[in-house]
Structure 1
Amino acid sequence: MMFAPLSTRTLTMLAMAPLALGLAACNKSDNGAATAPAGSVAAVAPPAGKAWAETFAKTEDGDGIIVGNPKAAVKMVEYGSLSCPHCAKLAQDGMSALTGNYIASGKVSLEFRSFAIHPQDIPLTVLARCGGDDAYFGLIEQVYTNFDAMNSQTKEQYDQASAAMKLPAAQRYPAIADALGYTAFFSARGLPEAQQRQCLADLPRAEAVAKASEAISAKGINSTPTVFINGNKVEGAEWKNVEAALKAAGA
């Protein structure tokens, strides 16, 4: 069960920041296109004792996290919602190959930007970021891998989460996370409950997610997943199309 897409009014209440995400939705295009193949990019060895798939950095504005060679010739940027089934499908189909074949080679970097299109995206993003930069992609992968189980809440849970949205701001996100089972989910993956509650009660964290999503919407991005390869949008953001675009860029 899933909340309805966020409206500006709902997001303002949720994150205490003005947003305009009413048009954002979890969508999938049926068509795909890739540019003409570029010359092959040479592999780049990681620093001694490290692996590119375990190398992480914040973007300059701090809203996104990059995994891989920060100077990779092929740069993939994904705008994704942690409550979006199409984003989960993209990860389930392609994350292993993306990480093991492309990012590991040093040819490709992946920048992930969380786009809040449903109320639960805010606590989910806060919790994924709560473990620090090195844990971020692993927790996102866990969310997407276990997507169906994470979104099989009962009506009672849904009603509890809806009621939690009316609580004072500092209580809202811990209550939503408890109601939807997120607290237990992240605890089982090594994120201490006390740390989760501290992160969820820290309102600037929620506001940062909301403001980042507002900035994404202002760019004209209105669906998830939206993927760019070296600045070119991948139409039909399914793994077969994304991989074709990576290869066309020389990866």
Structure 2
Amino acid sequence: MRIKSLFITAAAALALAACGSGDSAGAPKGEPIAKVAAPAGKAWTDVVTKTEAGGYKMGNPDAKLQLVEYGAITCPGCAQFSVQSTEELNEIVNTGVVAMEFRPYLVHGVQDIPGFLLAACSGPDAFFPLTEALYADQQTWLSKISTVTEADQQAMQKMTPAEISTLLGTKMGLIDFVKSRGISEDQAKSCLADKGAIDALIAATEKGTKDDGVSGTPFFILNGAKLDASSWNQVKGKLVEAGAR
């Protein structure tokens, strides 16, 4: 999946053709699972690690229920899930019964890259708060992709991935967005130009497609089983059924 081929026009992006949930079997079923205390002085939502799959896991690493979400930062369905789920999901994670792993997925191609690079810019501990903030204000910054002109798109054909990422991050106002949340402009530009991080996002997307059959977002997996779910109520129901109660 080459960076140039990942570009999707603003009109296609806002049409959201690629957002959706995966086909699946149901979640595993089980009796109520006992809560697990967090480390002293912490809540489980404070425990965040980068995973080998290129995602970020929040919660008890040994939780009985391992929830994975593949999400795209420009996907409105993912934004809706984030807004609807954050408070309750954090409460469930804090019981130690469920761990939540978010895996970035470039469902809309290169336009997903700047947001994910900036969400990861301050390290794992800040990933979830920054991602939640980006989702909460998605309509505002995503609408600015319309300022990417045809001339810009032509120029992008000769740009490096880092240059494309920086151009889009600037056009969508994402540098200013993170500046108000503790990331300096220099730090933001450095993150946007991180070729290694860009390559990792592309590789993780390809791996998710190949290994887990991801074709749209949001896409959920619980203890290895794909969930036929796209909303928080549906996912919450699967968690309750599996023992998070």
TM-score, normalised via structure 1 length:
0.84
Q: What pairs up with 1:170-249 in 2 under 5 angstroms? A: 170-219=162-211, 220-249=213-242
- Give runs of ≥4 in structure 1 deviating > 6 Å: none
What is residue 12 of structure 2 aligned with on the other side? Answer: none
Deviation digits for residues 202-233 of structure 1 (CA, Å, limit 9, x no counterpart): 21111111111111111221010001111122
Question: For the residues of structure 2 that align with 1:164 and 1:137, how far apart are their CA atoms?
Answer: 33
* 3-state secondary structure, aligned to 1:130: coil
What does 1:85-124 align with in structure 2 at a 5 Å threshold?
Answer: 85-100=76-91, 102-118=92-108, 119-124=110-115
Mark the CA change 1:93 to 1:28 in structure 2 (over 3 Å): closer, same or farther.
same
Equivalents in 1 of 2:6, 2:225: separation in Å? 35
Q: Equivalent residue for 1:130?
A: 121
207 and 240 in structure 1: CA distance in 2 versus 1, 3 angstrom threshold: same
* TM superposition shift of 1:165: 2.7
Aligned residue in 2 for 1:48: 40
Q: What SS does structure 2 have at the residue aligned with 1:224?
A: coil
Partner of 1:65: 56
**Which deviations, in whole Å up to 9, do the C-alpha atoms of 1:16-44 show, x marking residues without a partner?**
xxxxxxxx921257x99855741111111
Shift of 1:124: 1.3
Aligned residues: 232
Aligned-partner Cα distance in 1 for 2:141–2:200: 24
Shift of 1:163: 5.1
Question: 8 Å contact 2:21–2:219 — kept in the other structure?
Answer: no
Residue 21 of structure 1 corresponds to none
- 1:33–1:234 contact (8 Å) kept in structure 2: yes
1:131-172 deviations in whole A, cap 9, x for unaligned? 101000111101111121122227434557635633531422
Given that 1:32 and 1:241 are in contact with CA atoms closer than 8 Å, whether structure 2 keeps it comes out as no
Q: Is the 8 A contact 1:174 1:201 kept in 2?
A: yes
User: Contact conserved, 1:160 with 1:176, CA < 8 A, in 2?
Assistant: no
Show CA shifts across 1:65-86 (max 9, x none).
1000111111100001011000
**Is structure 2 residue 13 aligned with structure 1 residue 27?**
no
Q: Which of 70, 84, 87 is the equivalent residue of 1:79?
A: 70
Gaps of 5+ in 1: 1-7, 15-23
**Two-structure CA RMSD over aligned residues (Å):** 2.3
Assess if the C-alpha contact under 8 Å between 1:165 and 1:176 holds in 2.
no
